Amino acid sequence: MKIKSLAHLITLSIPLAFSASIQADQNLTDLTQGDPFFYTSDQYIKADSPQRELLGIGRPNKTHSQIPHLPVYFGYMNTNSTYRFVNIVEQVFTMIGEGKHGLWRVQENGTVREYLKAGAKGLAPGADLTAKASQNIIAENYSSFLPNESWSGYKYPDQKLNEAGKLNFIDLPITHQKYKGKYTKHQPVDLPSWYCTMSGNDYPYAQQSINFAFAQKASNQVGPLGQRAGLDIKENYRNVLRINPMEDARTWVNVANKQGDKINVKWEAVDTQQTNAEYYLVERPFFNKPYLFVMAVYDNKDNNDQHYIRPYGAYYDAIKNQGYDLKTTVTTQPRFHLEKGGEAKAVGLPVYGVHHPNRAIYGGGGACPLKGGDWGRYPDTSGGSGWPTQYEEVTPLCDSVLLDIKFTTNLDGRDWNDPNKYLANAGVGTKEVTYKVQPGTYGEFTDPYNTERGVKNEQSEYVPKELTISFPTVNEPVSYETPPNLDLTGMMIPSESTSCRPIIEASLKKGITK
């Protein structure tokens, strides 16, 4: 049964992809049945039950100490037949997948690519994007994400103009008028991200979990490194969740047997005591479809190897005179400090990744793009390693860095080591809590070993029917934010080809207007 207070979350849920062919003698079923409070589904407090004083009437939605029950979600996502599992229990998010997952380096260039809406009036080539006459057209006819247009909302680099000769896309610096000054005081975007894909498009079997996680207080809280990597630019990164590696998870850097050796690989653990690091699970449109990516941002404490700003363009012009110390040359192979001591340059591989020995079997290429920028028509050799808002000269260094996919975060934004979190008086809301018990003298010894020797229990005492305990403080109980309703329109079920990214058929090139 569903009680009113749970109805919204329950109706949001869809069954997860558990097997329907479990043998009867195993007596196993999908316990959730699409219900994030499935663990109370077998309970119903009747009106004449004494428990109604604590739990109310109907299906309980709180504990005996009046602390609200919290939703539980399970989900999974995959690429290349490799699976990652996400769980949310007691407002703790975990994501566990494979060890030593390959990452690529990309770097935002301080811009947003805005695509022309279907049927909208666009700007002419060469139009002044800062002119007053252009502002209404930009505001009304261009967007960084067009969810109602699915794949067709994206335009390839060679589709710059539509059939009417108007611009299919424009690149705006984050300081452009359209963004109403919200990035005017933004730190320079001078750090790369090291990333890889965690899901296919729409990630249907993880949507409930991820939708809930992104609605909580801890989401979209971007740290200082993440800001310098541009992860807080909402037009590019729709949702961001900072995650923390579990105790035995590591970043690994390919030091090779000798510098420049791209054949004899060797990865060493990175020393994050000497290297600042932040990790994120992000949702970003890719080919105008939502995908999930893991991203790591690094910055050495004793050098600026990771830093870079291209000394050219509208974004550079907007920040060059603001007093920042900008590094305007790319460090081709940044150094990493090693746990075993010393440091080494990251050595990239010419292949797509060490876990992809035969992408060519389904037309997926298999080579490293070897440059940044728009993925475009990869595996065509013109393709880049990421998005059009990224520098071409910041090369991906494919699989020079590996990351253990073993992360967690507290969705309420508070650590469990807080001495005042989860205290039993949180649900009551007062420092003093009165406990009702059966009165009497408790603890009198009756064992002959004690009574014959005249030993008495010093802790024995009379306990009255009501006893008040005073707590040091009152904190709100751990609760949750209700997630938005999911729009399942057009959601795609993963195909047999579970490539990290779309494989673009040559036939799609037909009819392109350049």
Sign of dihedral through CA atoms 300, 301, 304, 310? positive
Check whether residue 134 and residue 241 sit in a common domain: no
Q: How far is CA 443 from CA 45, 447, 453, 463, in A?
A: 34, 11, 17, 10
Q: Regarding predicted confidence, which is higher, 492 or 448? A: 448
Give 274-327 as a 3 state SS string: CEEEEEEEEEEEECCEEEEEEEEEEEECCCCCCCCCCCCCHHHHHHCCCCCCCC
Check whether residue 356 and residue 443 sit in a common domain: no
Report if residue 362 sits inside a domain: yes
Report if residue 317 sits inside a domain: yes
Check whether residue 389 and residue 271 sit in a common domain: yes
Number of structural domains the chain divides into: 3
What is the Cα–Cα distance from 106 to 419, expressed in whole angstroms? 40
Nearest to 219 by CA among 84, 71, 405, 410: 410
Q: How far is CA 416 from CA 19, 106, 390, 411, in A?
A: 35, 34, 38, 11
Report if residue 353 sits inside a domain: yes
Q: 440, exposed or middle or buried, with CB in 10 Å at 0-12, 13-18, 19+?
A: exposed
Q: How far is CA 502 from CA 115, 160, 201, in A?
A: 19, 20, 9
pLDDT band at 252 (very low <50, low <70, confident <90, very high): very high
What is the tally of helices (H) and strands (E) in the chain? 7, 21
Report if residue 384 sits inside a domain: yes
Check whether residue 142 and residue 257 sit in a common domain: no
**pLDDT 10s digits, 328-352:** 999 999 999 999 999 999 999 999 9
Check whether residue 338 and residue 454 sit in a common domain: no
**pLDDT 10s digits, 100-155:** 999 999 999 999 999 999 999 999 999 999 999 999 999 999 999 999 999 999 99
Report if residue 324 sits inside a domain: yes
Report if residue 450 sits inside a domain: yes
Check whether residue 316 and residue 225 sit in a common domain: yes
**What is the per-residue pLDDT for 80?**
85
Check whether residue 447 and residue 346 sit in a common domain: no
Average pLDDT, integer, range 304-316: 97
First-to-final CA distance of the chain: 59
Which percentage of the chain shows pLDDT scores above 70?
88
Check whether residue 320 and residue 370 sit in a common domain: yes
Check whether residue 163 and residue 193 sit in a common domain: no
Q: What is the pTM of this model?
A: 0.89
Residue-range definition of the domain harbouring residue 137: 112-170
33: left (phi over 0), alpha (psi -120 to 50) or beta: left
- Among 384, 412, 440, give the residue marking a domain's end: 412
Check whether residue 126 and residue 152 sit in a common domain: yes
- Among 170, 189, 215, give the residue marking a domain's end: 170
Nearest to 143 by CA among 155, 127, 132, 131: 155
DSSP states of 32-71: STT-TTGGGTT--B-TT-TTHHHH-SBS--B-TTSPBP--
**pLDDT surpassing 80 at residue 202:** yes
What is the Cα–Cα distance from 372 to 194, expressed in whole angstroms? 12
Average pLDDT, integer, range 176-193: 97
**pLDDT surpassing 50 at residue 18:** no
Average pLDDT, integer, range 398-410: 98
Report if residue 21 sits inside a domain: no
Check whether residue 230 and residue 127 sit in a common domain: no
- Is residue 476 within 8 Å of residue 418, measured between CB atoms? no
Report if residue 440 sits inside a domain: yes
Check whether residue 392 and residue 327 sit in a common domain: yes
**pLDDT 10s digits, 25-40:** 444 456 687 899 999 9
**What is the per-residue pLDDT for 380?**
93
The token pair that represents 55 in the structure block:
């739990």
Q: How far is CA 245 from the centre of its chain?
A: 13
- Is residue 418 within 8 Å of residue 116, measured between CB atoms? no
**pLDDT surpassing 70 at residue 223:** yes
Could you count the other beta carbons within 10 Å of the beta carbon of residue 276?
16
